[in-house]
């Protein structure tokens, strides 16, 4: 792990080019058309069927193309989730996007474990796509599969066979307290049997509120039976909300997403799926927190995430956002962060996180558009 961290700190980056379109995005149909136009075809940086995303090392100003499973899955999830609210013409765009994405997803799929997916390409392994000399280490430093990507895969693709319960058992096998316990979270929860992000014995136990939210969203959406680990994971989210840690210590409780607005968005989205009463009772508190954050939000994507969160929490009286393409093309607020310090034990996690060593920000314009699509769906077609 130290070797990987060292390699990350030496990474060289090339200039960023979003290669964006200039189509109208004022209607739901035009948004879908714009998103569809950004899906990769015959690109030398992105395999066909994927959507462009970019990474930036903390101490550099330029971005590198980074093709991965995650952002394309997120975009497809945002589109598919609201399919019942679309016209036939609009559904055609979503269906075509999925059809093109399915072959792309295959390069991230595990050959050994049914329904497991990786953030980066597995067949063959590639770390830091377009990373130059870093790609010499593709086989020796490949990341383990993770439950975040696997959860999104089940939501957008569905299981390839009948072994969805086996995937859940796989998640449970790597939970905190089984092979090892967390050394990078609050001591009070050191033995709590919650899910860990990574599916690998060599990987440390990493607890992330947004990752837990995504796994529990999958669990509810696919009607999987509840386990003690599910309950413990939901209760941990509740505990963090009660003591405000998702706001005051957001980088600590969610190293991969970092920002309070993003964490609140994940939890609000989960609340539209779950029937877990103790979590649903947190809705008024979450609304209050989201409204306060929205009043002082500086970034367009931050405002969009908070607006979407409030809409999903049943709040219809929030001001309508007017966001231009130019605003959504800005890369000043990362939705997702690759933070190598997240795998370190305390106190090194806090030290390296504060120094922002080994930190990469991720940006995807088509993903931002998919959030704008979600916002329009809730305002124009979903009845709370």
pLDDT tens-digit readout, 213-222:
999 999 999 9
First-to-last CA distance in the chain?
47
pLDDT > 90: percent of the chain: 70
Q: Span 143-160, mean pLDDT?
A: 94
pLDDT at 270: 98
User: Would the pLDDT of 336 be above 90?
Assistant: yes
- pLDDT for the residue numbered 328: 92
Q: Is the pLDDT of residue 208 over 90?
A: yes
Q: What is the percentage of the chain residues whose pLDDT exceeds 70?
A: 83
Q: Are strands 54-57 and 359-363 parallel, antiparallel or unpaired?
A: antiparallel
Q: Which domain holds residue 342?
A: 2-380
**Mean pLDDT across the stretch 255-260?**
94
pLDDT score at 349: 53
CB count, 10 Å around CB of 12?
A: 12
pTM of the model: 0.88
The pLDDT, as a whole number, for residue 343 is 58
Q: Which CATH number is 96's domain given?
A: 1.50.10
**Helix or strand run (H / E) with residue 326:** helix 325-329
How many domains does the chain contain in total? 1
d(CA 49, CA 100): 5
Separation CA 135–CA 207 (nearest Å):
28
Q: What is the mean pLDDT of the chain?
A: 86
Does the structure show a pLDDT above 90 at 86?
yes
Q: Which residue has better confidence, 326 or 148?
A: 148
Q: Which residues pair with 359 in a beta bridge?
A: 339
pLDDT tens string 171-202: 999 999 998 999 889 999 999 999 999 998 88
- Spatial distance between the Cα atoms of 140 and 130, rounded to a whole number of angstroms: 17
**Mean pLDDT value of segment 356-377:** 89
Q: Is residue 121's pLDDT more than 60?
A: yes
Partners of 333 in the β-ladder = none
Is the pLDDT at 355 greater than 70? The verdict is no
Whether the Cβ atoms of residue 253 and residue 246 lie closer than 8 Å to each other: yes
Give me 97's structure tokens: 């996007």
Please give the DSSP secondary-structure letter assigned to residue 27. Answer: S
| 55-69, 98-112, 321-335: range with highest mean pLDDT | 98-112
Comparison of pLDDT for 138 and 109, the residue scoring more? 109
Query: What pLDDT, on a 0 to 100 scale, did the predictor assign at position 7?
Result: 39
What span, in angstroms and rounded, lies between the C-alpha atoms of 74 and 24? 22
Report the DSSP beta bridge partners of residue 20: none
pLDDT of residue 370: 98
pLDDT score of 22: 41
Q: Who has greater pLDDT, 140 or 280? A: 280
Average pLDDT over residues 109-138: 74
Please tell me the distance from the alpha carbon of residue 133 to that of residue 143, in angstroms, as a whole number.
17
pLDDT given for residue 8 in this prediction: 41
Contact 263, 209 (CB under 8 A): yes
**pLDDT at residue 21 tops 60:** no
368 in Cβ contact with 31 (< 8 Å): no
Mean pLDDT of 1-17: 37
Higher pLDDT, 322 or 207: 207
**Is the pLDDT at 4 greater than 50, yes or no?**
no
Mean pLDDT, residues 276-298: 97
Q: What is the pLDDT of residue 320?
A: 85
Best-predicted range by mean pLDDT among 38-47, 120-129, 339-348?
A: 38-47
Would the pLDDT of 151 be above 80? Answer: yes
């Amino acid at each position: 792990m130290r070797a990987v961290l060292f390699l990350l700190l030496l990474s060289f980056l090339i200039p960023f080019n979003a290669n964006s379109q200039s189509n109208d995005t004022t209607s739901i149909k035009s948004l879908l058309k714009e998103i569809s136009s950004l899906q990769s075809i015959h690109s030398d940086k992105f395999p066909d069927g994927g959507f462009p995303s970019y990474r930036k090392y903390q101490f550099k100003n330029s971005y590198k193309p980074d093709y991965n499973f995650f952002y394309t899955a997120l975009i497809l999830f945002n589109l598919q989730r609201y399919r019942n609210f679309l016209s036939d013409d609009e559904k055609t765009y979503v269906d075509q996007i999925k059809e093109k994405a399915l072959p792309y997803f295959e390069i991230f799929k595990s050959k050994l474990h049914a329904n497991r997916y990786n953030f980066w390409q597995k067949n063959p392994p590639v770390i830091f796509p377009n990373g130059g000399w870093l790609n010499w280490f593709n086989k020796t430093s490949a990341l383990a599969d993770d439950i975040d990507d696997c959860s999104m895969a089940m939501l957008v693709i569905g299981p390839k066979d009948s072994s969805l319960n086996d995937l859940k058992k796989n998640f449970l096998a790597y939970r905190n307290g089984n092979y090892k316990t967390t050394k990078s979270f609050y001591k009070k929860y050191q033995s709590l049997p919650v899910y860990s992000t990574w599916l690998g014995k060599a990987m440390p136990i990493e607890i992330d509120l947004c990752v837990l939210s995504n796994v529990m969203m999958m669990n509810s959406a696919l009607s999987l039976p509840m386990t003690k680990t599910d309950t413990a994971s939901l209760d941990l989210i509740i505990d963090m909300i009660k003591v405000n840690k998702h706001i005051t210590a957001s980088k600590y409780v969610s190293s991969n997403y970092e920002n309070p607005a993003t964490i609140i968005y994940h939890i609000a989205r989960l609340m539209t799926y779950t029937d877990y009463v103790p979590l649903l009772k947190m809705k008024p508190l979450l609304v209050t927190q989201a409204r306060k954050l929205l009043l002082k939000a500086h970034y367009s994507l931050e405002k969009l995430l908070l607006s979407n969160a409030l809409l999903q929490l049943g709040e219809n009286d929030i001001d309508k956002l007017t966001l231009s393409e130019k605003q959504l093309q800005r890369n000043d607020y990362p939705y997702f962060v690759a933070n190598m310090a997240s795998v370190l034990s305390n106190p090194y996690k806090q030290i390296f996180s504060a120094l922002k060593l080994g930190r990469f920000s991720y940006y995807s314009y088509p993903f931002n558009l998919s959030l704008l699509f979600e916002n329009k769906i809730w305002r124009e077609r979903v009845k709370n």
